[in-house]
Structure 1
């Protein structure tokens, strides 16, 4: 059986500060700014996109100054999103790689929903749910950008046929609905697990919060080394 190499779950800027209570740095200022730019772009894209999705939602164009302005700025907000999310992707992708414990975590989703943390495997900086959101949004945004280029008539209409643009509109709309759904789940989870939302504002959490929700991450910050998953196993195992 192939041995699983221990991995370090922390990133530069993560640190533990003794005190009452213990404070744990979780997100640096650049990471938080990057996150909130991405979040604002997603909200603006959702509102402007929905306003063009169906006549009953056209009133949302009033938020942007009218239909013509909404149609003009929607793709440019998408451009900002691309660069902002790319920054997040490069910053967080390694810590969101799938691990064996993540499968166990998802298989015990009932315990997750019931907040039975003691029945779950120790979690690194991100749990399986957060990883699913990360990779789902990465894929969805990639598809949205690709199809968005196809239907951006002002600059790219000459490169694609009408049938291609129609298919792109259909795919773009469907992926946008999925992206909005994933975003809603992400926001709900951040509010549901108390302390998660404030961590992305202040940049730190308490030691108690880290111990309960991301114990493996906290242990590695304290010891300065990853936990060997093969430690304590016999040769027969």
Structure 2
């Protein structure tokens, strides 16, 4: 983890334009605020491009996608590309329905993402690697390094495959993050909020590989820190402590 990336992001307080799913809006907003960046949630087609032009980064998350949302995502993504700010695409549940698959294809034909982030099942689907999924969850098993590499090559972007070990691929380089805690799999929107933190880290001046690795490592360490508290008895008591942990100095979270 490159701690300077966290400090730089917090000093700048980047505005991250979220076109995200309805289930996680509040959690993503609070988590990103705790981290030290500024969230805005604006999905109306009439303002999506304007908001992107005003932002420092854009997050496209298709978790509860509608046809209207898709048009807004494309408008915001195109505007972000024109402005030269980072775009994170989170193809939530892309393998679940033909609508989602077609929507992501539509986005990728018109928007150049800086990073495509998702679980192994989601990203495997983008490169036609067989992988078992259940709704929006990845339940299969296989080579995450291969998936990340193929996504990065096919879409000429950085790829982040989340899981027990997060795998990052950028320009043929594979990085692995081993921080995190199983309890993250028991809360709604854990991956979605990681997309928010990643978007904020991408606004800094370091390499994309270091930015993505730092976001994943910091996020996992915050989860470990929260889960270790003696008053955490499960997902419900974990959540507020996790939000708190996202505000901590990264040095305080480093493994001893």
* Class of the TM-score when normalised by the shorter of the 2 chains: under 0.3
Higher relative strand content: 2
- TM-score, normalising length: structure 2: 0.23
Structure with the bigger percentage of helix: 1
**Higher relative contact order at CA 8 Å, sep ≥6: structure 1 or structure 2?**
1
Which of these two proteins has the greater Rg computed from alpha carbons? Answer: 1
TM-score, reference length from structure 1: 0.25
